[in-house]
Chains A and B, each alone.
Chain A
Amino acid sequence: MDRRTLAFLGAGLAITLVVAGGLSLMASDQPDGLERVSIDEDFADQADEHALQGAPLADYEVGGGGDGWGTALAGIIGVGITLVITVGLLWLTRRAKRSPG
């Protein structure tokens, strides 16, 4: 890959990490559009607790301290997980295409 494209990817990743690990601390914690509708239309109580509510990254919060660092860390870890799975899946797809059968 040429150096300009590498530089673009690096800058894009840096911006992404700032969004996930910095801007995310300023996010509104109000209900989102669907949650708001479920409250107003009276079906919010139908929601079940998430089966993986006890998972280490649940609700974008590592450690459960609620001091911001847990959210920032969860965001940065999520960026890494998403990047690796996407690249891995597409790489495998390309490899499967090249060796049919």
Chain B
Amino acid sequence: MHIPDGFINLPTSAGFGAAAAGGLWYNLRRAAGLLDDRRIPLAGLTAAFVFAAQMINFPVAAGTSGHLIGAVLAAVLVGPWIGSIVMTVVLIVQGVFFADGGLSAIGLNVFNMAIAATLLGYGGFVMLRTVLPRTTAALSAAAGIAAGTSVMVAALAFSLQYAVGGEGSADPAAVTAAMVGVHALIAVGEGVITAFVVGAVLRARPDLVHGAPSPAEAHG
């Protein structure tokens, strides 16, 4: 869902760029006190994994593919603030080194996938966690459902940007409907991959998963 240059006009791109920069600054402030010798390399590994996983486009319908965004995966593994920073770095690396996502659209892409999808998706995960049992299967499912939802958040965020400052003569309502339709399929893939990876890490090292309840909580 990487927006190229030209889809969204420059004033709108600049506005979302400012919002994305503010979000990154806020996330860095919130993350600063959490960064210990364990979390920094874990965040690096999470960023590298999200970058790698985003390379794997899977077919979702005739002539269409999708790939993991990884926003909720990152947030569940390293927490929402560090997770959002992780996603921001991935998107900037893709735009600057890999010509994936336009340079003028980096703020749009960071806003959609690193901020809105990450923070709202993590909020959804926390809500599901409170009502589901504290088991590995339930936590994995909560991550998967939240991850699928986060894809829809990012799709709607693009639709909003297109409605505000889209170039071309497409009808914003039709664009929104099409974005929701195609990304509903991609969301299923996002959910399955996220649930699988979160489940695997929970089984190996539950203590390294930010979104897992601490042992005291789990028994309480």
Contact = CB atoms under 8 A, between A and B. Distances in A.
Q: Judge: A and B partners, yes or no.
A: yes
Please classify how large the interface on chain A is, using the bins under 10, 10 to 19, 20 to 34, 35 or more. Answer: 35 or more
Among B45, B66, B82, B208, residue most surrounded by chain A Cβ atoms (within 10 Å): B45
B41 interface: yes
A3 interface: no
Interface stretch (B13-21, B54-62, B210-218): B54-62
B55 A75 contact: yes
Given A8-B208, A33-B183, A55-B99, A42 B158 contact: no
A81 B41 CA distance: 14
B178 A41 contact: yes
A78 interface: yes
Given A19-B49, A46-B168, A30 B96 contact: no
Contacts of B186: 33
Interface in A54-101: 55, 57-60, 71, 74-75, 78-87, 89-91, 93-94, 96-97
Contacts of A82: 44, 47-48, 50-51, 89-90, 93
A69 to B, nearest CB: 15
Nearest to A75: B55
B103 to A, nearest CB: 5
Residue in B35, B51, B166, B171 with the greatest tally of chain A CB atoms within 10 Å:
B51
Nearest to B102: A50
A83 B50 CA distance: 10
Interface in B88-125: 89-90, 92-94, 96-100, 102-103
Given A30-B64, A82-B51, A93 B97 contact: no
Interface residues on B, range: 35 or more
Contacts of A93: 28, 31-32, 35
A94 B29 CA distance: 10
B130 interface: no
A43 B166 contact: yes
A42 B168 contact: yes
B190 to A, nearest CB: 11
Interface of A: 1, 4-5, 8-9, 12-13, 15-17, 19-20, 23-24, 26-34, 36-38, 40-43, 45-48, 50-53, 55, 57-60, 71, 74-75, 78-87, 89-91, 93-94, 96-97
20 contacts: A5-B38, A20-B55, A27-B56, A29-B57, A32-B66, A33-B155, A33-B186, A48-B5, A50-B99, A50-B103, A57-B98, A79-B51, A81-B97, A82-B50, A82-B93, A86-B48, A87-B41, A89-B85, A89-B89, A94-B32
Given A32-B67, A57-B99, 7 more contacts: A8-B205, A23-B56, A33-B155, A82-B47, A82-B89, A87-B43, A90-B31
